[in-house]
Structure 1
Amino acid sequence: VCARSGEFIDVPVVSGAILVNIADLMQRWTADRFISVCHRVLLPPEGDSCTRQSLAFFVHPDDEALISCCDGSSKYPPIT
């Protein structure tokens, strides 16, 4: 993931863990409880025995759907 400094930081493999990268819509829905981050995927080093599985799931709400903070706050104004 990309740190605020602009430097990319490796995310360690943790057995049994799930890593979720969210985008701006989820950040808005959660009123910044979860933060959207810039990320990249690199090939593992030669001979690395760790494996990871990747699953991409994208959400695009209906154009008329009202998007507002789930906690009822006014952190972000509702948008469509």
Structure 2
Amino acid sequence: MISTIILGALVGFLTGHIMRGEGFGAIGNIVLGIFGGIVGRFLFGVIGLGPTGLIGDIIAGVVGAVILVYAFGETRRRRHR
């Protein structure tokens, strides 16, 4: 559980730097990192590249979190039009 939170925080932090201006605060980034890991693992599994090890989990998490941040950003932008 603690390792998931730490990994989620790291993934959220990295995603915040990749997707500038789309941060969700510390807690939001941790949650986003955890869900990003789930999404990333699923997507990598679908294409046959199941992540292995800590580095694989980080990469999958960041990819998933970037996709989630992009999707949430687009949803927000569409609501404000």
TM-score per shorter chain, which class? Answer: under 0.3
Higher-RCO chain (CA-CA 8 Å, sequence separation at least 6): 2
The structure whose Rg is larger is 1
TM-score normalized by structure 1?
0.21
